[in-house]
Amino acid sequence: MAEREMQVATVPSVRPVRTRRMLFSVGKYLFLAFWAAICVLPFVLVLSTALKDPDLSTGNPFQLFSSFRPDNFVDAWTLGNFGRYFVNTLVIMIPTVLGVVVLASMTGYALARFEFPGRTALFYLFILGLMVPFFALMIPLYYNLKDYGLLNTPLAVILPSIAGAGGTGLPLGVFLMRAFFLDLPNELADAARVDGCGEWDVFRRVMAPLAKPGASALAILTFLSAWNTFLLPLLYLQGENNRTLATGLLLFTGGRTRELELTAAATLIMLAPVVIFFMLFQKQFITGLTSGAVKG
Amino acid sequence: MAVTAPPATAGLGRAAATGVRSRRERRKRTNPLLVALFVLPSLAIYVLFMVYPFIGTIHLSFTNWDGFAPTKELIGLDNYRVMINDPEFWEALSHNLIWAVIGTAAPIIIGLPIAILLWSGSRFRLAFRTMYFLPVILPSVVIGIIWGWIYNPIFGVINAILEGVGLGDFATGWLGNADTALIGVLIAAIWATFGMVVVMFLAGLQGIDMNLVDAARVDGANAWQRTRHVLLPGIAPIFTFVFTITLVGAFSVFDIVYVLTQGGPGTATEVLAGYSYKMAFGRNYAGYGAAVSMVIAILSLVLAVLFLRLRERSRTNG
């Protein structure tokens, strides 16, 4: 009797568990898909609007992809002067990324591997920059740049960005690269020294190549923030010919309440490089962005 | 190949020996010229464009400089005294506080369950992660433009949805209405940050020792108990980190507000950073603007120090 009871008890209990699992699974994917849709749908909306005929663009937003007019991109590009803004943005982005990666690698290496008085204090000085918001520099920096004759030149954005005013820059770079060099084994550097390498060659030929994963994560983070930086060019790079994509796009959309298809096309012009870059280097993006959270 | 670090197990005895030797060598000071070559270029740029202007802000905040006068007249704490009686300052600060509470809580409340579900095993995990992360990489100008559209009173998606489900009476110009503007801007900001929180929690969860989870399961802990007693303590450091960066960020929010509403309508979405910007560059009160900036800086520094303390404590406890 006891056996029969057990059988009766176990058989029906299997099915509720299975249905519960199923329900949980369905609920889980619905939940995940809901938030994924919230993230992605605005992109779809922009893409759909960017391809619409001018007289349809402010119509029903749910009529997705109701027309196909790639000329909008050409119109936005020429009307909005985006070729110029694109070049201006590159002129800022490239030196910023190179500057941050090279300088942060060298200083991070020195802080990790060299022995000199004031090393710890110097490290903390750089780390402090991670905690100082841009607004604590914004006003005097404007007048400093004016005094140096740099205002409204690309250097007015490049140098503060390297210094860390944009949020990444040297403070984050020195922090990441120092941590990276600390993790590398000593033996290789020592072996190179025994072979007669000078300290510069030890860094340049042995240690720096080993730090490539760290440096590429840093490069990608810096690229992202240099591409997206908004307030720095808004303040320090004024004048039509100096605009970057961020400030140029704002001006372009600001005056337009009707020609939505052009606004959408212009938005995609600014967006495309970042999204493509992200898709290609997703791993480095995420390593870079999470390194502060997991490391340190 | 660059990545040919010697395996850690090879010749343990020798590694230990060289470890001792290199430690002795490292005590020897590096050639100062070499140190200068590696450190001075960074230090020069950092001091000139970070440290010096920061000191400049502290100095300016004690002056009534207008941005043009050849001399900067010191007026002691007057800017700060004026600030205490400035209703617009308090309104801006209150918006930052609202931002700090909702803008920190919402991304965690949305992001943590997503991260745990993804971690606990899900198909298309990478695809999901990519989609959640897309808004995070967007330029703030683009976030502003997209959400400006979504909220648009004439062709916006939100009003179209409301009308579609028969709630057309609630349709409004979301950003032009002082009652809804701040929460509207905040929602756009939350949209753009929760993916970051997902990715960070996911990174933290991947560091959790699976043996602990299995042990808890063997001991009869259900999914909720495993989450509560194994997962959450495991990601506590990430929690502190996420908490701190979103909190600190809440006090220096600017871009998205500027693009969406410029602080308006009226002062309904004015925040400290925008107020400082407006005072210094719109109205030429450089001294007063600097004093407002100092409030942002002090709040950020206090929160950051608090974070370091918390982390130290959790480390010594763990």
String of DSSP letters for A170-186: HHHHHHHHHHHHHHS-S
H or E element: which one contains A120? helix A119-131
- Segment among A263-277, B3-17, B148-162, B245-259 with least mean pLDDT: B3-17
Q: How far apart are CA A199 and CA B189, in angstroms?
A: 47
pTM as predicted: 0.85
- Position A104 pLDDT exceeds 70: yes
DSSP one-letter code for B30: P
Token pair, residue A256, equals 């337009």
How distant, in Å, are the alpha carbons of A24, B49, B212, B225 from that of B221?
Answer: 18, 55, 11, 5
pLDDT tens-digit map of A172-212:
999 999 998 998 888 888 888 888 888 888 898 889 999 88
Tell me what pLDDT residue B318 has. Answer: 47
Interface of A with B in 182-211 (CB under 8 A): 184-188, 190, 199-200, 203, 209-210
pLDDT tens-digit map of B157-182:
888 888 888 787 777 888 888 889 99
- Position B147 pLDDT exceeds 60: yes
Q: How far apart are CA A226 and CA A95, in angstroms?
A: 10
DSSP bridge pairs for B63: B74
Helices (H), chain B: 12-27, 32-46, 52-60, 78-84, 87-119, 125-133, 140-150, 157-164, 181-205, 210-218, 223-226, 232-234, 236-251, 255-260, 272-277, 286-317
Q: Which percentage of chain A shows pLDDT scores above 90?
A: 41
Question: CA nearest A286: which of B188, B108, B206?
Answer: B206
CB-based contacts of A38, cutoff 8 Å, min separation 6: B191
Among A223-227, B41-45, B69-73, B309-313, the range with the most confident prediction by mean pLDDT is B41-45
Token pair, residue A129, equals 């920059």
Tell me what pLDDT residue B124 has. Answer: 87
A260 CB neighbours in chain B (<8 A) are 149, 155
Task: Assign A237 to helix, strand or coil.
Answer: coil
B12 class by beta-carbon count within 10 Å (0-12 exposed, 13-18 middle, 19+ buried): exposed
- Position A171 pLDDT exceeds 90: yes
Q: How far apart are CA A135 and CA B252, in angstroms?
A: 7
Pick B114 or A258 by higher pLDDT: B114
Tell me what pLDDT residue B176 has. Answer: 86
- Position B297 pLDDT exceeds 60: yes
Residue from the list A60, A187, A286 with its beta carbon closest to the beta carbon of B199: A286
Average pLDDT of every residue of chain B: 85
Q: How far apart are CA B194 and CA B110, in angstroms?
A: 7
A203 CB neighbours in chain B (<8 A) are 38
Our measurement of the distance from residue A77's CA atom to the centroid of its chain's CA atoms, rounded to an integer in Å, reads: 24
Tell me what pLDDT residue B238 has. Answer: 85
Q: Which percentage of chain B shows pLDDT scores above 70?
A: 90
Could you identify the residue written with the tokens 């030929």?
A205
In one letter, which amino acid is B240? Answer: T
Q: How far apart are CA A226 and CA A228, in angstroms?
A: 6
Tell me what pLDDT residue B20 has. Answer: 46
Which residue on chain A is closest to B35 by alpha carbon? Answer: A110
Q: In this predicted complex, what is the ipTM?
A: 0.87
Tell me what pLDDT residue B2 has. Answer: 34
Averaged over A138-151, what is the pLDDT?
94
Q: How far apart are CA B232 and CA B238, in angstroms?
A: 10
* A-B contacts at Cβ under 8 angstroms: 292
CA-based R_g, chain A, Å: 27
Among A254-258, A274-278, B38-42, B260-264, the range with the most confident prediction by mean pLDDT is B38-42
Look at B114 and A125 and tell me if their CB atoms are within 8 Å. Answer: no
Q: How far apart are CA A161 and CA B254, in angstroms?
A: 17
- Position A11 pLDDT exceeds 60: no
